[in-house]
């Protein structure tokens, strides 16, 4: 099934759910926003560094229409056992309006993005796995943002401004002090193109992935993460301590040579956090160059270095993610593999020769079962189906395979 067919199917599902849930009305607005996989450049965005993500064919769709009065009623079909599927609240008349206590997190995101809006009915459907490190929150924020932009006449904002509004919603209402990567790629990403984003200037460049013999394989560890309750914020503070010790506004300005000096002024932990960030920013620009020149061997090596640094220096990996990377590494034809996203669970991303794909998937499925410590992973892989998406948005050349 092509990406376009998948998207059309999802839109149809959302429209059917809408008419079933809100009898007598038809949706007048329909929007979609993709999740992302980050190829390299992890925990660099909030340090004003570079990132190299790409938009996925996994999307969040929102359909709806204005209603009489000021009630917002949203039904979500997205999987999330911890959250109510239906929510009703009064349309915020301004950014300071308080929501009912107990409203689900995604309802708060609606509010965060909202300009004064009329009441509306909407249905949300998503194929982005929640908490899987593929940016389900940003996809929801961006879908909501686009929905409101269509629903309420007003200025159409540019990508950067829209991304900042969505990011602010995440900070304020979800309590996650995230960087700007996920929102930017959800807004600016195109299928089969990586986005080289400079998180200081917020300028970006689309890097086409033109090699037809290469595959991006995303493997879900089955372990879900919660960025807000994880150590994400602690990592950010440690980076600020390092930058301050060097007298710099951010670690983007730091050089490899600064590390020696830094070691004298900060704890070993802060030193290692900074070493990851400084190295990762350099790796990301090198990886973008490797992608442009089709040097996948070099790209894969940088991915492996990135994972090692995230595991040892930044300490955001997990045994399940490490095992997936180790297993993938051992497969002939694999260029490189690493955790993707914030870490502490979620997914790995692997770059490999197309001809090695079936072997790699079999290897991961069979070998992962031999580990007893990764119950969630075993469960995931036992019941695995893999969706192969080729022909994405007409000119796609690199298939993305999702093993989840
Ligand atoms: C999460 C955050 F939301 C991003 O901003 C980024 O920091 C990422 O973790 C790590 O690279 O996805």
Tell me, what's the pLDDT at 403? Answer: 54
Cα of 179 vs centre of ligand 1, distance in Å, is: 6
SS3 158: coil
Q: Which residues of the chain have pLDDT under 70?
A: 1-2, 78-84, 92-115, 210-212, 226-229, 368-404
Q: Identify which of 48, 180, 182, 238 to mutate to test ligand 1's pocket (most ligand atoms within 8 A of the CB).
A: 182
Tell me, what's the pLDDT at 400? Answer: 58
Phi, psi (degrees; rounded to nearest 5) at 33: -140, 135
Q: Identify which of 341, 345, 346, 349 to mutate to test ligand 1's pocket (most ligand atoms within 8 A of the CB).
A: 341
Cα of 133 vs centre of ligand 1, distance in Å, is: 8
Question: Which spans in 170-231 are helix H?
Answer: 181-188
**Tell me, what's the ipTM?**
0.99
Cα of 62 vs centre of ligand 1, distance in Å, is: 23
Alpha-carbon gap, residue 222 to 321, rounded angstroms: 10
Tell me, what's the pLDDT at 222? Answer: 79
Residue positions annotated with a catalytic role: 182
Question: Which spans in 80-231 are helix H?
Answer: 105-113, 136-151, 159-169, 181-188
Alpha-carbon gap, residue 70 to 91, rounded angstroms: 5
Tell me, what's the pLDDT at 376? Answer: 35
Q: Provide DSSP, 305-320.
A: HHHHHHHHTS----HH
Q: Which atom of ligand 1 is nearest to the CA of 176?
A: 3
pLDDT tens-place string over residues 191-244:
778 999 999 999 999 998 766 688 899 988 878 776 656 789 999 999 999 999
Q: Is 345 in the pocket of ligand 1 (CB under 6 A)?
A: no
Cα of 143 vs centre of ligand 1, distance in Å, is: 18
Q: Which are the contacts of 112, defined by CB distance < 8 A and separation ≥ 6? A: 141, 168, 169, 170, 172, 173
The alpha carbon of 188 is separated from its chain's Cα centroid by a whole number of angstroms, namely 13
Tell me, what's the pLDDT at 108? Answer: 60
DSSP class of 391: S
Q: Is 132 in the pocket of ligand 1 (CB under 6 A)?
A: no
């Amino acid at each position: 099934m092509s990406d376009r067919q998948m998207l059309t199917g999802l839109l149809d599902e959302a429209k059917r759910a809408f008419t079933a849930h809100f009898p007598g009305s038809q949706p007048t607005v329909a929007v979609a926003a993709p999740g992302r996989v980050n190829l390299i450049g992890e925990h660099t965005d909030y340090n004003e560094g570079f990132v190299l993500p790409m938009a996925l064919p996994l999307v969040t769709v929102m359909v709806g229409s204005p209603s009489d009065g000021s009630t917002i009623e949203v039904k979500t079909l997205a999987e999330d056992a911890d959250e109510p599927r239906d929510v009703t609240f009064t349309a915020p008349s301004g950014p300071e309006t308080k929501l009912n206590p107990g409203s689900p997190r995604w309802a708060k995101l609606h509010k965060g993005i909202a300009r004064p809006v009329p009441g509306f009915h909407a249905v949300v459907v998503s194929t982005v796995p929640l908490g899987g490190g593929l940016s389900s929150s940003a996809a929801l924020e961006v879908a909501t943002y686009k929905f409101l932009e269509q629903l309420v006449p007003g200025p159409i904002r540019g990508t950067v401004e829209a991304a900042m509004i969505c990011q602010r919603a995440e900070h304020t209402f979800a309590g996650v002090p995230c960087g700007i990567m996920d929102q930017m790629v959800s807004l600016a990403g195109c299928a089969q193109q990586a986005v080289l984003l400079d998180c200081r200037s917020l300028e970006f460049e689309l890097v086409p992935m033109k090699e037809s013999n290469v595959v991006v394989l995303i493997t879900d560890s089955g372990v879900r993460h919660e960025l807000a309750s994880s150590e994400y914020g602690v990592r950010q503070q440690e980076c600020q301590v390092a930058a301050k010790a060097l007298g710099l506004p951010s670690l983007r300005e730091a050089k490899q040579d600064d590390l020696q000096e830094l070691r004298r002024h900060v704890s070993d932990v802060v030193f290692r956090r900074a070493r990851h960030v400084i190295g990762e920013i350099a790796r990301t620009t090198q990886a973008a160059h490797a992608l442009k020149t089709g040097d996948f061997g070099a790209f894969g090596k940088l991915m492996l270095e990135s994972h090692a640094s995230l595991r040892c220096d930044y300490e955001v990996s997990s045994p399940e993610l490490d095992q997936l990377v180790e297993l993938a590494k051992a497969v002939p034809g694999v260029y490189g593999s690493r955790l993707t996203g914030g870490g502490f669970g979620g997914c790995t991303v692997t770059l490999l020769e197309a001809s090695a794909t079936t072997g790699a998937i079999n290897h991961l499925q069979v070998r992962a079962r031999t580990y007893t410590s990764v119950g969630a992973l075993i469960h995931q892989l036992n019941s695995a189906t893999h969706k192969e998406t080729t022909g994405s948005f007409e000119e796609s050349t690199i298939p993305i395979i999702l093993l989840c």
